[in-house]
Each structure stands twice: as C-alpha cells, then as structure tokens.
Amino acid sequence: MIKAIKGTRDILPPAGARWAAVENEVRDVFRVYHYGEIRTPIFEVSELFSRSVGEETDIVSKEMYTFLDRDGESITLRPENTASVMRAYLEHRLDQNAGISRLYYIGPMFRRERPQRGRYRQFHQIGAEVIGSERPEVDAEVVVMVSDLLRRVEVKDFEILLNSVGCKECRPVFLAALKSSLEPVQANLCSDCQRRATTNPLRVLDCKVPADQEIISTLPSILDHLCSACRGHFDRVQLLLNDQQLPYSVTPRLVRGLDYYTRTTFEFTHGELGAQNSILGGGRYDGLAAQLGSKMPAPGIGFSIGQDRLMLALEKEAASAVSSLDVFIAPMGAEAARLAFSLAHGLRARGVCVEVGPDAKLKRSLELAHKLVARYTLIIGDEETRSGQFLLKEMTTGEQVSVTRELLFSRFTTTTDHGI
C-alpha cells in the first residue's frame, strides 16, 4: 500500500471542519483590521530564501526542499512566507497603493525537519505582514491583533514576550559588547554556542540548553544598548499595549539572528505545548527589502502562527464534537429514494446540510443517523411518498412531527441557524 510521506499527514473529517472554522474566525479578525489576503506561489527561486532567511540558518542549510527544475533553475518549496510576500510587494510596486499594505496568508510551508509531535514537513501557517510603515503604532497594532486572533479561536492561556533588537545604528555596539563578554566564557558553552559565538553571537542568547543558562544570564542585554530612536520606539509600543491592558513580559533574550530584523520582536507562548511552547513569533524587518536587493525602502513587520500547533493547543483546551449534519434523510423503497433525492436538493439550496441514507430498514437508518450525529432525520416510506407527508424526527429529543414538502422547506428557511 502507498502511504503518505513521512512528516506529512492527511487532515480528515471532522478535523478538516475544525481547521476551516479556525480559518474563518481568523479571516474575520483580519477583515476588521483591514488586511487583504495574498496568495503567493508554493515554490520560488531558491535565491529568494537564501538571501532572506539567511545562508547560515538551519532552514536554508539543512531543511529546504530545493531541486533543480528541468531547465536547470534552482527552485525551493517555500519554507516560510515573509520572503515571498516581500517579493510580491516589491515586484508589484504595492508601495504605490494608497496607505500601507496589510497582507495576510493561510497556507502550507515545507521544511525537512526531524519529525516530532506537532511538527510536520508540510506544515501550515497563518501569517500577516504590514509593509510600508516604521511607526510603533503599527507594531502595537499587530501584537494586539494577534492576541485578538488567539482569543477569537479560544486560545486563552497564552503569554506575550516582547523585545527590541535595535537597529543598524545601535546593534553593532551591542554585538561588540556581546562578543567581548562571550570570549572568556565561550569554551564552557555547548558546541552549538561555541560556533555561534563567532558566526552569530545573537543566537547564543536564544540557546535552550539548560547547562548554558547560567552563563547566558550574565551576558549583556540589548535593552541597555538601544539608541534613543529605538528606545523611543520600544517605549511607545509598550505604552500602546499598556493602554489596552494587554499584559506582556519584556524578554531581552528574545532575539533574531538575522541582520535585517530591527526593533520590535515578539513571541506568543502557550502553556499546553510543553517545552516547545512557542505558538507564534514575529517582528519588524526594516532591512529585508534591501537584503533582497531592492533600492526602494519597504519597512515591515509580520508574524506567523503554526496552524498545526495552534490546532493542537485548541484540542488541549476544548475538544467538543460539533454536529455538522442538519438532516439525514432515511428513504425506504425506490420511490422514496427518488423523492429523498429531490427533497435533499431543495434543502441544500436553502443552505441546509443534508445527507441521504441508503434505501434501508428504518431501524438501520436511525442507527446510522445517530452515528453521523444528525440533528434531524426525515423518514420517507411508501406511505409518505403517497401522502406527501413526511416524518421529521429530532434526534436528541426523539420528538417527531409530520411535515409537507412546503412546510419542511419553509421551516428550514425561516430560521437562521437551520434549526426548527
């Protein structure tokens, strides 16, 4: 038997409906913040990611699905979407549109990661990018929107971590201080950190190895090195979040290893997800456009949520089976099945979810209706076919009423929730 590739999975009903429900809620939050949906290609030229995500990262060096196309061009399945959105912004000159660009996306990304709980090689992200403004109000708005979004999908138990990583003026000063503090202690750190201490010292701060934490806590903090413009920006972001009574923790160790990240960075964590408890990350990337070779400045900020992990967090918080089938039609006999076919079509045209059962004995049909968690069963036998009166049974109460075709249609049409 052919099976799905390791690290990929099928999302089957009823989980598929839960995914769609979350996406609908999320779209509605994006709508009120005036975001528009962007859909970029699943694959791009490899250079886009090696320039934006960075050659030195695990993503680019080990995890990308990169292949030569038939004409010899190197192509990569997108490992994340910020680079593609920025590419599209620059390519289509979205800077010429009125106002700033607020773009969101929902879709699969691809990384050849070591499979573990809640991590997939084809994984799904919900994310957004705001491009065209450096204002701290935009940063605060993104953080507030993300928390609205999580609350909307009923993730309640989250924490917000906030930091500033400075800018191209003040970060080099911090990096120099960090490097000189690392020199005497780096031999005592884990092997990854020993390497990072020279290649990318910022990432030492990010190390999760327990034995390293004591040394890391003695290293200098970026927040003591912010220039006055970055300090002012960060204070303003915090002021706006405080105004909304949105709690957060300033976490100086929350850094991003790449040069084009600037100022605000944030992460949302969720208690139910254990050690790998980050549910989403985001931040400002005013240097990204230049990194991609653009002369046009395009300051931006964005975030992405791992939807697979989000769904896992939701399952932990509340697993409730919802009934999606409004009416199960149970026909007995060929004429009844013919009528059932027509009634089903009429109900579906009115937005009612209907499934027609097999031509079977009533007892078997009702058993099936229960298993499908139908809200109602419409019973059609020979007698009903002749009289034009059908029995509508409410499955939870067992209550039965006799309805005509017209009555059936009008009852489902006049109520908003497809109930009777």
Name the residues that contact Zn ion, by CB under 5 A. Answer: 166-167, 169-170, 190, 193, 207, 209, 212, 227, 230
Minimum CB distance to Zn ion smaller for 95 or for 206: 206
Token digits of residue 179: 């490097």
Closest approach of Zn ion to the CB of residue 97, in Å: 29
Of 114, 157, 111, 162, nearest in space to 140 by CA:
162
Minimum CB distance to Zn ion smaller for 142 or for 207: 207
Minimum CB distance to Zn ion smaller for 259 or for 384: 259
Minimum CB distance to Zn ion smaller for 100 or for 190: 190
Closest approach of Zn ion to the CB of residue 216, in Å: 8
- Count the neighbouring beta carbons within 10 Å of the beta carbon of residue 192: 14
Minimum CB distance to Zn ion smaller for 90 or for 226: 226
Closest approach of Zn ion to the CB of residue 192, in Å: 5
140: Cα separation from own chain's centroid: 19
Compute the distance between CA of residue 167 and CA of residue 225 in angstroms, rounded to an integer. 10
Q: Residue 403 to residues 284, 380, 412: CA-CA distances in angstroms?
A: 61, 11, 12
Closest approach of Zn ion to the CB of residue 152, in Å: 34
Closest approach of Zn ion to the CB of residue 203, in Å: 9
Compute the distance between CA of residue 314 and CA of residue 12 in angstroms, rounded to an integer. 17
Minimum CB distance to Zn ion smaller for 96 or for 191: 191
Minimum CB distance to Zn ion smaller for 208 or for 338: 208
Of 34, 51, 39, 168, nearest in space to 101 by CA:
34
Closest approach of Zn ion to the CB of residue 372, in Å: 53
Strand order in the sheet with 74-77: 43-45, 74-77, 66-68
Minimum CB distance to Zn ion smaller for 48 or for 219: 219
Do residues 353 and 326 touch, judged by C-beta distance below 8 A?
Answer: yes
Closest approach of Zn ion to the CB of residue 50, in Å: 25
Do residues 354 and 324 touch, judged by C-beta distance below 8 A?
Answer: no
Closest approach of Zn ion to the CB of residue 262, in Å: 8
Closest approach of Zn ion to the CB of residue 276, in Å: 17
Minimum CB distance to Zn ion smaller for 263 or for 375: 263
